[in-house]
Amino acid sequence: MIRLVAFLFMLLPSLALAQEKLVLGLSQDEVSITATFTGSELLIFGAISRETPPPQNSDLGVIIAVAGPNVPVTIRRKERVAGIWVNTESANIDIAPSFYAVATSGPLSEVLRPLEDLHHAITWDRVVRSAGQDAFSTTEFSEAFARIKESSDLFQMLEGAVALEDDTLFHTAITLPSNLTEGPYRTRIFLTRGGQVIDTLDTNIPVFKVGMERWLYNLSREQSALYGLLALLIAIIAGWTASAAFNAMRR
């Protein structure tokens, strides 16, 4: 009996944490890529529903992670050999999101425990995977890859970018660059207490080409010969038009 009572007391904190649930909202449920697409801003907002008053002995945190489709990547190291820059070591990355953004309601070290990160694979280092590559396991290759993505706004670490009001409402804005990869963008929201994940939400946001951009993309993939002839024809017409305009101006 004493053991049963002790076990129930041990469960009380986790039962209390389980009373808090995420409710998600999105400013848009899809992103359309057109010929004039220059980027977009995705507003993510939501609320925290409770059945009981929140605990007072631990801090609440919200983490939002948006990941684009995975693409294979090869990272190469360049070194100067005999006065010439050449590729030396390389690492093949099997799983790497084409876009990845993590926004938090506070410093990452305060809202997420390392073990929780390991379990849920939230941060960049946990998301990227490279099977059988010792080179990529080194910090140097990992940081170099992150810098490459960050320079193109394809990797964003946004600590403190999630506004959390009265421990109930939260919202953030994720900037999507113009060079997006088409496909589903997985959006995960994590609710934490004292760095421990107590609830999660997972949804996908479709990102796809539309209009003329979509037609040309499909044509290049499905009928490459016709696409090549069409591109050549457009180039000839454009060149002839420019030449005719130039001659008219000279007259």
- Tell me which residue has tokens 């490279």: 130
**Whole-number pLDDT of residue 66:** 93
Q: Over the range 133-170, which residues count as b (16 or more CB within 10 Å of their CB) and which as e?
A: beebeeeebbeebbeebeeeebbbebbebbebeeeeeb
**Angle formed by the axes of helices 224-250 and 211-222, nearest 10°:** 120
Report the pLDDT value the prediction gives residue 245, as an integer from 0 to 100. 72
Domain spans, the chain: 16-209, 210-251
pLDDT at residue 108 in the model: 93
**CATH for 16-209 (2.40.50.100, 3.40.718.10, 3.10.105.10, 2.60.40.3880):** 2.60.40.3880
- Number of C-beta neighbours around residue 222 at 10 A: 9
Nearest Cα neighbor of 20 from 172, 189, 162, 160 is 189
- Residue 133's pLDDT is 53
To which H or E segment does residue 237 belong?
Answer: helix 224-250
The amino acid at residue 69 is P
How much is the pLDDT for 227? 58
How buried is residue 41: exposed, middle or buried, by Cβ count under 10 Å (0-12/13-18/19+)? exposed
Nearest alpha-carbon partner for 156 in 68, 53, 81? 68
Ordered per-residue pLDDT tens for the chain, 251 residues: 444 334 334 444 444 444 788 888 777 666 766 655 667 788 888 999 888 777 777 789 999 999 999 887 777 777 777 777 776 777 777 778 889 999 999 999 999 999 999 999 999 888 876 555 554 555 666 677 778 888 888 899 999 999 998 888 999 998 888 888 888 899 999 999 999 999 999 988 888 765 455 545 554 555 666 657 766 777 777 777 777 777 777 76
131: left (phi over 0), alpha (psi -120 to 50) or beta: beta
Per DSSP, 152 falls in state T
Give the residue among 194, 192, 196 at the shortest CA–CA distance from 170.
192
Q: pLDDT at position 146, please?
A: 79
List the structure tokens of 135.
Answer: 């080179």
**Distance from CA of residue 102 to its chain's centroid?**
7
